[in-house]
Structure formats: C-alpha cells, structure tokens
A and B are shown apart, each in its own frame.
Chain A
C-alpha cells in the first residue's frame, strides 16, 4: 500500500511570536520549528497502517529549506522516503498553491490513502487537505479521530457537535487528522540515525509544473491589540467600593 502523509513545519506552540514591523509576516529569529502537531497524528496513523497492512509511507512537505528537518523527523518515526517541495516562490504561499504543489507530487506516488493534519497551528487555515482532495478528485474525510481499514475501504469516525459521524469512504481518499486519533510515537535512536540516510527528493515549482502565483495573499499581519490594564478601585469604605464596582460594570463594561 502506498501511504502519503503531508507535513508542515510550524513554530513551536510555546515560541514567542513577533510580527515584523512592516506587517508582512512574523519575525523568524529565535523560533524553534517543529512538525505541525496535527500532522504528527497523520504520520503516526500512516505508520500504524503500514505496520498493519504493509506498504510504504512517503512524507511530503512544502516549505523552505528548514522544512527538511521536519521531513527527517517523520522519517525517524519510521516513514520510508520523503519529497520536499522547496522553492522561494512558494514561501508563505496560500493554501491553494500549497495543495497544488502537494497534488503534483502525490499524483506521481499513486497513493492509496493520504493523511493531512486537519489544520496547521500557524495560519489555522484548515484548507489544504480539502483542496488537495478536490484537485486529485478523490473523497475526503476531515477531522478524523478514529480510522479503520478493511476490504479496500476506510471507516472513519468524526466527532461533531453532540454526536459522532461514522463515515465510510472508498480509496484512495484524503484523511485530515484530529487530536485523539492516536499518540504519536517517540522516534527511536536507530530511527533517527537511519532517517539521515533515507531518500528525500527535493523539487521546485518548475519541476512540478505548477503556478506559483498565490490566489489569496496575507495583506497585513498585526499583533493582537494590547489588553487594557486592569483597574483597582481604591478607597477604604467597602460599601463605596462595591458601589463603584457596580457602576463600572454597568456603565463601562456594560455587562450588568
């Protein structure tokens, strides 16, 4: 079975995010880059599927040169090979172009199943998996927390408000993965060492024959406004302070 897991390199969840003064993006200095946590569930599920059914897991990532570390991380977990779409023209591109690049790579891999994280924690767009399925013209099941495969079909569970859906789909299909699907493994040391020697194809946009002009652009990035400082009601008389509190809640905060 040919299994594909798509990964994106994102800043660590604890990293200090500073918006560049010109609002064109974030200042990448001092940032620790990690694999998008939702993608980790995808890689783990791909590996489990391979271990149960046999086959090969290919990691595909679109990103700058540093994204290679993330591909290696997935290879250390146990994937067989990787494809790295690396092209300055694709840096910080939109979801459509990313999906188009992924699709161009994946078409050639003849996959049975493709995993994507349900969204990336950096831009939170949550579109790549869906667009990828659309470009490839295959079904998709999004935000999956349980997956079974039998008789050439998959059965996936997707939680929705107050219920869960059990969705069956034919293969090939795209699965976008959600927390709860599995516990991603910790790479073993021999895995880390072997990963250094596993094959990773590096391709640029021209080689894939895709358009690099994004359809959507981040026009401006601004940090969230600073929160107004809290107010301390001064005074010695508790009754007067309570009255003032009520007045402020009513007139300024308008909550009562």
Chain B
C-alpha cells in the first residue's frame, strides 16, 4: 500500500489510520466496542445498585466549586499520590501516560472520521514523539509497579508481613503492560513497511517503534503485514478486555477514586457530626453495616489497598491488630457479602410482593468483622486520612463504631469506664476533686473571670494543665509569659470543666456533649470572645466542635500566641538555651489544624536552640499514642507507641523533645524513662522553653497590664 509522491513532501508527514486493516475491520471494531462498553456499563450498573442499596443518607454534593477543585488537584494532578514518592511516580507515569494515549487515540479516531486539517507535518511528528514518550512512561510505570509489588514487597502492600496481593492485581498490571507492548509492536511492524518500502523517513520520530522495526530485517513485507494484522487484533482485544474488565476489577478505581475525591468531606479536618437526637433516637453509633452512611460504605469500595494509611499508623506500626487499610477492606468485604443478600431479598419481594425478608447478617460488624482490639487501638491521629490519596475517612467510622460499643452496649474497657465516671463526677479524667482545679494558679495570682471578666482572652487551661504535675508547670510557665507580655487574660478557675475530647473520641458522645454544654454555658455567661488553649485536644474541641452547641469563640493555641508575641517583640528571649531540639508534632495541632510552623518558629527564636527534625514529621508525623482516648487505656498489645516515638527522637540525636501538647509531654517523658535516657534527654513544652529563655524567673513577673 503506497501513497504515491504527495505524502513524501516535507510538511506532509503523517500516516493512514487503519493502515493494513481493510474493511470490515472498522465495523467489527465498532461492534466489539459496543459490546465491551455494554459489559462495562452493566458492571458499573451492578456496582451502582450495590452502592445505593444500603446506608443512611448524607449530602456530599454541596459546594461544587470546591469539590471540582479537589478533583482537579488530586484526581487530575495526582497531588496526594506523591505523599509516597515511589508509588506516586509510577502511578503518575501510568495515569498521565494513559491519559495522553487515550487522547492520542481520540485524535486518531477524529482524523479517521472527520479529518483533522493539522494532522500532518510538524504536528504529526511531535504528536508521534509524544505518544512514544507516554507509551514508554506507562510501560515504565507498570514495570515499577510490578517490581514494587512482587520484588520489593513493601509492608504497606500487605498486613503484618504477609502480602495481600490478589490475582486481579497481577492481571491488571499485565493487561496494561501488554496493551502498551502490543501497541509498540504493531507500530514497529507498520514502520518496518512504511519506512523501508514506502520511504517514510520521518518514522524515526516514533523512536521506539522505529528501533523495534529493525528486528524484522530480512523478513518479507507480506509476512510483516500478516504479523501486523495479528498483533493489531491482539492489541484491540486486549484493549477491549481492559474496558470490559474495568468494573469487575481494581481498575474500578478509575471511577471510584475521582468520585470519592469529589465527594470528600469539606468540613474542618477531623470533623465529627454530633449526635443531635439523644431524646428520640433508638440507636446510637454504628453497630451494623446499614447504620453507616452511603458515603462511609462507598469509601470502602473506593479504597485501592494502596496502604499509605497503614504506613504511618501508630497502632499498626506498634504491632497492634489495627490497620486502617484492613479495617476499610474488611468493611468492604462485609458489605459485598451483605449487599448481595439484601438485593436478592428485595428482588424476591418485588417478584412475590410484600416486604423483603432480609436475614440477619451471619457476622456481627462489631466483634466478627471488626475486632474490638482493632476498634480500640486507634489513637485518632488521622495519619490515615491525611495521607489517603482518595480521601477515605477512617476515623469517623471508628468513632461511630465506638459510639455503639459505649452508648448502646456499654461494653468497653474498665479503665475507660473509670475515666468516664471521673469525667462525670469531677469533670476531669483523673477523678481528682474538681475544687483543686485552679490550685496551680494560686501562687502566681491569676485572676478568674468571676473576679474580673473584663479581659481580652480566656486561658482555658484544661484538665492536664490543671491536674497533671507536668501539665501544671506548663500552665504556670505560660501564664507567667502572658503576664510578662502584658496580655490581658483570665481563667475560669474551679468553674472550668473538662473539654470532653477524650469522651467524644472514645465514643461517649453523650458525656462529651454534657461537658461541652456546661463549658459553653459558662463561657457565654462571661461573654468570652477569645480563648487560648495549651492543650491541642481542648483547642480542637473548642474551635471545631463547640460551635455545634452554641459555643462560637475565637480559639487560639498557645503556640500561635507565643509565635505572635515573639514576632511582635512583646516578649524578649535573652537567655541562651543550648540544646539540640526536635519538635514533636501533636496530631491535634498538626494534622487536625495545620499548625506546623508556629511551634517551630517559636523554638527557632530561642537563642541557643538548634533544631533537628525527626524522620517522621509534619503531616507524616508519628503519634505519641495518647489521642482518641488512648491516654486513659492500657496498652498491652505490641510495642508502646510513645517508646517508638522516643526512639525516633533518639535516632535524630535530640537532647530535648519539644512538644506543644500535655498528652505528648507525658508520653514523651514516659518514653524517655522507658529508654533510660533521663540523663541525656528531656521533654519540654514550648512554653517552658520560652519562659526559661525569657530569664525572668528570679525577678518577679511584671504585673499584668491593664486590659486593652
């Protein structure tokens, strides 16, 4: 098949779409395309039926602009996949490669059917080169993925050391690889004829096909044409297989991932929908699959088992049974089993009439599907959610299941029961008499709002800062700093109550709300506008959750205030504090509230402090182990999370573990003790470091300036 002389002129470079594929190739192609699209559509329809079969309603379609933005950033530009470099790179190679190749195929098809006036000459040459590069990119991505999954075998692609590879994982990668390889082969066969026989010298631009075409030297053109036909159909059928297979395989994530990214929570990070109908509801929390919202169920289908969540999960890495990936996958498996039964029962009822008889599940969600040790191992650190490329929401699921165990079944650890009783009776988890709450402040003379409500800030001290011996020192240091800086502030004194964070995260929403409401009533009664918290747990609760119950305050963490006071020159750091210091990110400050910079700025401003980062930091920081109510529970499985974090600080060579959270402070101090490093290391709150550097301890702290 030659084209005469025209095409050989400069500027006319191009090729014939459907070369060597005479009629009726095209109708056959259309026929098969229609068939496989129907198969794929049917598969998606079946899945759609499953997605919509069970689950409570939840609106995830508000703020479309914001949702499209999320989709572009993380769907189109794959931003979050790069939180793990290797996987990010190979996934992007495949993703962008595929994207461009599909675009290329569309251009080809348009050229064939309508004709593109520009599909020749330079455009064609660059187009060919682009297709070659992206074809290679996909291939490289597939090879990287295969090597990772089957040679490197990273732990995140498994559970407790055992890979969780499925047959489908291999099929998908090999299928994609085979499509690309056969594509290059048919190209090389065509080029062999076009270049050598027809004199298409520009085929060198298709450098992969061109290089491969040399293999056929000496073979007759007819044989090559025949081989081309065979490979062409092979390539086509592999592509058909890909389309048809999509909804039945992990390839489904091509649909579910962007949908889940679009449907992501636009609420503040760590947001939990409060229970609002205590008086009327008959069940609380999630005790069975059907009690999840459709989105919570859809999440589990959107999970691709990539394992990024597991890779920094403190519970998993400390050898507890919880893996966020496993938890979500277990929900998915349970859902797949359950939803089939539900759909079958409904179908039967439709045929026979009457109400569908849905048999009870043979496995209990809580106990069989999700083990209680898994459920209670979560520290709510939110590493999983912050690093999930498709925005699966693990933590709210865990909390809603805990709510069922606590509020409905009242079956949970005795330590936590004691903690809750303490919070009920004395409004603090330790159960220390509430009348002792303000004793820390006695010596330094901090006024309560009852004594003087005309202050700018309420310093909400929280339970650790009021009752824990280490925490009290932080409160004293911070209060002294505020006084020295002339900040107008007061405390609630013995009227203050527990913020309730540990109750909420441990599933005791009822107790949490009663504590929150008591605080809100009190704060509103004093006309409080601005609040400073030294504990990130109180900070997060007051800032994000109290507004649900009528508590609308401007809430600051002391790291923000300290950074401002230093930047504004209101406090002077005179004394050198010579120490190699690492800052441990509190989960509720960092991942929950994006406060990463301020505490580091504060520390950097202290003369003599040299900073060193631990390997796991910022949004990939490792939890201290005390969040999610874990502070109050025994840790009797696996390693101790705080010891692991301490080891990371030791590895970094730190002399001081600086923290901005009283829970972290306790956990790090315990870790240092466990590792017998008390002689060489200490853990300090940033407020303590700042107060030390202010060097005012000898001199009496200046009296508070009159309120502004």
Bound together: yes
Chain A positions within 8 Å of B, measured between CB atoms, are 12, 14-16, 30, 32, 34, 183, 185-193
What are the interface flags for B265-280 relative to A under an 8 Å C-beta threshold, 1 for contact and 0 otherwise?
0000000000000110
Subset of 22 A-B contacts with CB under 8 Å: A12-B426, A14-B431, A14-B432, A14-B434, A15-B433, A16-B433, A16-B435, A30-B435, A32-B425, A185-B410, A186-B406, A186-B421, A188-B408, A188-B409, A189-B278, A189-B284, A189-B407, A189-B510, A190-B407, A192-B510, A193-B278, A193-B279
Say whether B622 faces chain A, with CB atoms less than 8 Å apart: no
A14's partner among B278, B410, B417, B425 (CB-CB below 8 A) is B425
Contact with A along B422-446 (1 / 0, CB 8 A): 0001100001111100000000000
**Bound complex: CA A27 to CA B706 (Å):** 37
Q: What separation, in Å, do the CA atoms of A5 and B387 have in the docked complex?
A: 53
Inter-subunit contact B412/A34 (CB<8 Å): no
Q: How far is the CB of B305 from chain A (nearest CB, A)?
A: 35
B283, closest chain A residue (CB): A190
Given A14, A183, A186, A192, which contacts B426 in the complex, CB threshold below 8 Å? Answer: A14
| Closest beta carbon of chain A to B51's beta carbon, Å | 31
In the complex, B420 has a CB within 8 A of chain A? yes
Minimum C-beta distance from A76 to chain B (A): 10
Q: Does B59 contact A (CB under 8 A)?
A: no
Q: A32-B425, A34-B425, A192-B510 are in contact. List 5 more A-B contacts (CB 8 A).
A: A12-B425, A186-B406, A186-B421, A190-B407, A193-B278
Question: How far is it, in angstroms, between the C-alpha of A189 and the C-alpha of B282 when the chains are bound?
Answer: 9
Q: B431 and A186: CB pair below 8 A? A: no
Contacts of A183 in B (CB 8 A): 414, 417
Q: Which residue of A lies closest to B431 (CB)?
A: A14
Q: Are B408 and A14 in contact (CB under 8 A)?
A: no
B507 CB to closest chain A CB (Å) equals 10
Q: What is the CA–CA distance of A117 and B432 in the complex, to the nearest angstrom?
A: 24
Assuming the contacts A14-B432, A32-B434, A34-B425, asked whether A187 and B410 have C-beta atoms less than 8 A apart, the reply is yes
Give Cα A189 to B285, complex, Å. 11
Given A14-B432, A14-B433, A16-B433, answer yes or no on A186-B420 (Cβ-Cβ < 8 Å).
yes
Cβ of A223 to closest chain B Cβ, rounded Å: 15
Set of chain B residues within 8 Å of A190, measured between Cβ atoms: 282, 284, 407-408
Least CB distance from A230 to B in Å reads 19
A189 to B414, CA, bound (A): 17
B367-425 CB contacts (< 8 Å) to partner A: 406-410, 412, 414, 417, 420-421, 425
Chain A residues closer than 8 Å to B432, beta-carbon distance: 14
CA distance A32 to B420 in the complex (A): 15
Question: CA–CA, A16 to B408, complex, Å?
Answer: 34
Q: Are B278 and A186 in contact (CB under 8 A)?
A: no
Min Cβ gap A141→B in Å is: 26
In the bound complex, how far is the Cα of B414 from the Cα of A185, in angstroms? 9
Asked if B410 and A186 make an inter-chain contact with CB atoms under 8 angstroms apart, the answer reads yes
Report which residue of B410, B417, B433 has the largest number of chain A beta carbons within 10 angstroms of its beta carbon: B410
Taking CB atoms, residues of chain B closer than 8 Å to A30 are: 435
User: Top 3 nearest A-B pairs by Cβ distance?
Assistant: A14-B433, A189-B407, A188-B410
For chain B residues 457-502, which have a beta carbon within 8 Å of chain A? none
Most buried by B among A12, A14, A189, A190: A189
Q: Which residues of A contact B279 (CB under 8 A)?
A: 193
Q: How far is the CA of A32 from the CA of B425 in the complex (A)?
A: 6
Q: Name the distance in Å between B689's Cβ and chain A's nearest Cβ.
A: 32
List A contacts of B420 (CB < 8 A). Answer: 186
Nearest CB on B from A213, distance (A): 34
Closest B-chain residue to A76, C-beta based?
A: B410
Give the CA-CA distance A183 to B412 in the complex, in Å: 12
In angstroms, Cα B510 to Cα A12, docked, is 21
Q: How far is the CA of A186 from the CA of B406 in the complex (A)?
A: 8
CB distance from A32 to the nearest CB of B (A): 5
Given the complex, which residues of B lie within 8 Å of A186, measured CB to CB?
406, 410, 412, 417, 420-421
A136 to B504, CA, bound (A): 47
Q: Give the most central of A30, A34, A183, A190: most B CB within 10 Å.
A: A190
